[in-house]
Amino acid sequence: MNDGLVLPPKVALVLGGGGLKGFAHIGVLRAFEERGIRPTVVAGTSIGSLIAAAYVGGMPIAEMERRALLLQKSDLFRIDHISMVTKRMLAPSLYLAKPLQKLVRDIVPEGTFHDLPRPLLVNSVDLESAAQVVWGLPGLQDVKVWEAVYASCALPGFFPPGVLGGRTCADGGISDNVPALAASHGMDAVIAVDVGSTNIARARRIRDKGFAAIYMRSAQIMMKKLQWLQLDTWRGPPLLLVRPAVWQFNMFSFAHVRRMIELGYEAAQDALDRAGASMMLGGVWPRRMVEVRVDRAACTGCTLCATLAPRMMTMDQEGKAEVLVSPVEWSRADGDFVHQCPTDAIHVESMEGAIRRETLEMPILEE
């Protein structure tokens, strides 16, 4: 049973996208299972939707882990040579759809959303109308679950979009990588698992790694900003934010699967232990007291921090950044302006002990 935080009756669990870093979701589910946490609604984007569908369909956590550890690059990524030669710039994607479709069909339950034992929400984007489409919501349940999951996993340019319900849909991370708000209606609380969209590692020599790497880096930055905006203005029910420390891993690396699963487990246990009963007051949790300071010698007076966080930062008479409030209570969704400083002049220290490197500093992306 859950020995720490006591959750209310109606809880939505939201699993975010992040390529293979999403295997951390398996560890999160293992931690929840051990504590007897059974969400009312499960939602997901991209790989989060794949694991969410398997979970709702009744696949055991151990079986998810076994399949993840056996997965190889050739099982998923096969270049569509024919289309690239015959269609050139009109080729729909770099990789073939069939390997990903097979993977999805092997894992996702048969039937439509009506056939599932509990509600599942699969986040996607309609590329033609530029609208977010959350399959599983009322009026969007008469499609096959596997087709919705495939569309949610179909990263534009990498895999062909899915066509279902008369819509041409692709990866939901384009607009909402962790669809917490979409899943929050009628819920008493939301648990959102973010595997990288609100914290990304520093990339090295990105200009030398080709167009695909540059495109993916750009997409990650876009997702990061969109996610921070949602969390910064969160007005939904109490939200528990779980952030496994997997952002230093490459999105398409198969070399660290076991470690990513364990990091998901550790992050879920830590978040549940730290949240406490005060989470039910609302907002984003868990929180901690931090001290914020400015290295005046490093500060160039660019004013960006004061512009982005006017309630936290200002400029003094000498044109240097100055902290208005410190110490301050922060959740894991706070402090994005710290990373935006071009000279790394803003420093944050936890008053509860050292802040882990992956929390507020920017680790280096694994090659």
Give the model confidence (pLDDT) of 154-189 as tens digits. Answer: 999 899 999 998 999 999 998 899 999 999 999 999
Q: Residue 121 above 50 pLDDT?
A: yes
| pLDDT at residue 361, as a whole number | 43
Burial state string for 19-52 with b = 16 or more CB within 10 A and e = fewer than 16: bbbbbbbbbbbbbbeebebebbbbbbbbbbbbbb
Between 125 and 282, whose confidence is greater?
A: 125
Q: Residue 351 above 90 pLDDT?
A: no
> What is the mean predicted confidence (pLDDT) over 23-44?
97
Task: State pTM to two decimals.
Answer: 0.87
Q: Residue 365 above 70 pLDDT?
A: no
What burial class does residue 357 get, using C-beta atoms within 10 Å of its C-beta: 0-12 exposed, 13-18 middle, 19+ buried?
A: exposed
pLDDT band, residue 357 (cuts 50/70/90): very low
User: To which residue do tokens 């694991």 refer?
Assistant: 51
Q: Residue 308 above 50 pLDDT?
A: yes
| pLDDT at residue 354, as a whole number | 46
Q: Which of 197, 213, 215 is nearest to 123 (CA)?
A: 197
**Arithmetic mean of pLDDT over the chain:** 88
Between 354 and 4, whose confidence is greater?
A: 4
Q: Of 74-83, 122-131, 300-309, which range is least confident?
A: 74-83
Q: Residue 119 above 90 pLDDT?
A: yes
* Pairing relationship of beta strands 167-171 and 162-164 according to DSSP bridges: antiparallel
What burial class does residue 281 get, using C-beta atoms within 10 Å of its C-beta: 0-12 exposed, 13-18 middle, 19+ buried?
A: exposed
pLDDT band, residue 215 (cuts 50/70/90): confident
Distance CA 147, CA 138 (A): 17
Confirm if 9 and 178 have CB atoms less than 8 A apart. no
pLDDT band, residue 62 (cuts 50/70/90): very high
